[in-house]
């Protein structure tokens, strides 16, 4: 079968492409921006890529078109699909029908931590020799790919609540029908498609309705939004993090902790990650893997060798004892937990937070009232206001005075950071996008400044 994928270069759709290729299909695709690293990965798989939306890419007609959720009515390729009555579907629907229908699906959902937790879970199963399939919405460093078909019944998927496609406004995850479901947390996000938290909870409850009675739902016990959702009806076994599963920090930065189940100590973990949020992610991954038959001792061994996915407090450079980190944090809670983790790690040394409010919700200004508290642990805050922001960051900068500055030019921001950074500093760059190449520009500027000293 010839499958053509519109919007192929996103992490999720690129993963769909890789899995379709592994199933023996001829796969082609297109996107608005075809560039590395995803374009390189796809081309290495023998997938032909087209830049843009020219309908000519759909001639001769493929057997099936998979349409990514970034595309909408008015797109020339989408209009051609509809006008010529080509067979089309969404990525989640195709995955459900062609891959997941006879698999033990382990789905990781929640507002934060999905990528890290699903990567942990896939790695634990792989380390245990189970050879799982997986599709992760990020770039794992324990694997050489973000998606694979796998060689066992187990399939780990990052279960995103964002909508499926322009023709299917349900959350992606309602297609996955998991046997093991992790709900890490639940907050208001994606203001571009959800009017309020209740609308998100409704989608999560659709997901809960599909977990079988002999399945397992793992969730924290102290999250009101999750409790309200579970109270709408849950027909599966439940285990809670905070009562059944608990963790005791042995180092305040979270780099070492003890794990307990039903008050029985199961072991300890010393690992590369830090932060309470990563301890939480680890406990969820261990509990989910246990449901699939992996002993906790094996899971702890696996996580001792775990490397965080790219863009999750990824150390990009250490120049003259100035550390530059890249982090995906794009929600006040994620910003706060990220900064708490690095603060516990570095103690009294300076933490410089650099924020681009780039996600749709952040651009809309929905979370602006929560940002001052989220950024409170940073010693200095550098705000960047993108041209497409729907609100001015001036008031936020004033509320954080005197430790905050506001820039509207990337190069000026890089120069300011290079001028003010000192040995011992940790610079945490937070954005869910490319941030105008700020990471490489800053590393270059710091290297130029300090290499002769």
For 182, the enclosing helix (H) or strand (E) is strand 180-183
- Measured distance CA(171)–CA(207) in Å, rounded: 9
Distances (CA, A) of 144 to 134, 136, 328: 12, 12, 20
Q: Are the CB atoms for 303 and 269 separated by under 8 Å?
A: yes
For 269, the enclosing helix (H) or strand (E) is strand 264-270
Q: Is 330 annotated as a binding residue?
A: no
Backbone phi and psi for residue 49, each to the nearest 5 degrees, phi listed first = -115, 145
DSSP label of 309: P
Q: Is 89 annotated as a binding residue?
A: no
For 428, the enclosing helix (H) or strand (E) is strand 426-430
Give the count of beta carbons closer than 10 Å to the beta carbon of residue 23: 13
Q: Which of 201, 23, 165 is nearest to 93 (CA)?
A: 165
Q: Is 114 annotated as a binding residue?
A: yes
Q: Is 76 annotated as a binding residue?
A: no
- Measured distance CA(104)–CA(181) in Å, rounded: 11
Q: How far is CA 136 from the centre of its chain?
A: 8
Q: Is 233 annotated as a binding residue?
A: no
Q: Is 115 annotated as a binding residue?
A: yes
**264: alpha, beta or left? (left if phi > 0; alpha if psi -120 to 50):** beta
Contacts of 401 (CB under 8 A, 6+ apart): none
- Measured distance CA(321)–CA(196) in Å, rounded: 44
Helices (H), 292-331: 296-304
- Measured distance CA(126)–CA(145) in Å, rounded: 13
Parallel/antiparallel/unpaired status of strands 154-158 and 133-135: parallel
Backbone phi and psi for residue 223, each to the nearest 5 degrees, phi listed first = -110, 105
Q: Is 297 annotated as a binding residue?
A: no
Instruction: Give ∠ CA 259-262-264 in degrees, rounded to 5.
Output: 55
Binding-site residue positions: 110-116
Binding-site residue positions for ATP: 110-116
């Amino acid at each position: 079968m010839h499958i053509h994928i519109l919007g192929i270069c996103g992490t999720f759709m690129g993963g769909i492409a890789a899995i379709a290729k592994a199933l023996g299909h001829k796969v082609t695709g297109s996107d608005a921006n075809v560039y590395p690293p995803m374009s390189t990965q796809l081309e290495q798989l023998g997938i032909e890529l087209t830049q843009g939306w020219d309908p000519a890419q759909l001639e001769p007609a493929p057997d099936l078109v998979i349409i990514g959720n970034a595309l909408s009515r008015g797109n020339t390729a989408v209009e051609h699909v509809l006008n010529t009555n080509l067979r089309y579907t969404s990525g989640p629907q195709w995955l459900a029908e062609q891959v997941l229908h006879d698999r033990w699906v382990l789905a990781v959902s929640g507002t934060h931590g999905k990528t890290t937790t699903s990567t942990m879970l896939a790695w634990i199963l792989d380390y245990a020799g189970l050879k799982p399939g997986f599709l992760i919405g990020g770039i794992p460093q324990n694997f050489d790919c973000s998606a694979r078909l796998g060689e066992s019944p187990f399939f780990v998927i990052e279960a995103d609540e964002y909508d499926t496609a322009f023709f299917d406004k349900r959350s992606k995850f309602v297609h996955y029908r998991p046997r093991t479901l992790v709900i890490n947390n639940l907050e208001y996000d994606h203001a571009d498609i959800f009017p309020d938290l209740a609308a998100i909870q409704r989608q999560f409850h659709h997901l809960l309705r599909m977990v079988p009675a002999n399945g397992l739902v793992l969730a924290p016990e102290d999250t009101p939004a999750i409790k309200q959702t579970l109270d709408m009806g849950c027909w599966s076994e439940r285990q809670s993090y905070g009562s059944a599963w608990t963790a005791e920090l042995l180092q305040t930065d979270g780099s070492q902790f003890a794990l307990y189940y039903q008050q029985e100590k199961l072991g300890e973990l010393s690992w590369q990650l830090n932060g309470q949020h990563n301890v939480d992610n680890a406990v969820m991954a261990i509990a989910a893997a246990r449901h699939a038959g992996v002993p906790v001792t094996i899971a702890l061994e696996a996580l001792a060798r775990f490397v965080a996915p790219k863009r999750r407090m990824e150390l990009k450079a250490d120049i003259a004892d100035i550390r530059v980190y890249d982090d995906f944090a794009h929600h006040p809670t994620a910003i706060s937990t990220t900064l708490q983790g690095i603060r516990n790690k570095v103690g009294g040394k300076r933490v410089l937070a650099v924020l681009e409010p780039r996600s749709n919700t952040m651009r809309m200004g929905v979370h602006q009232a929560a940002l001052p508290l989220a950024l409170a642990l940073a010693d200095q805050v550098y705000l960047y206001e993108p041209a497409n922001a729907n609100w001015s960051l001036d008031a936020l900068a004033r509320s954080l005075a005197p430790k905050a500055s506001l820039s509207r030019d990337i190069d000026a921001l890089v120069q300011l950071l290079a001028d003010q950074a000192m040995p011992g500093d940790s610079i945490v760059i937070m954005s869910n996008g490319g941030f105008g190449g700020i990471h490489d520009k800053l590393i270059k500027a710091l290297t130029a400044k300090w290499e002769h000293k």
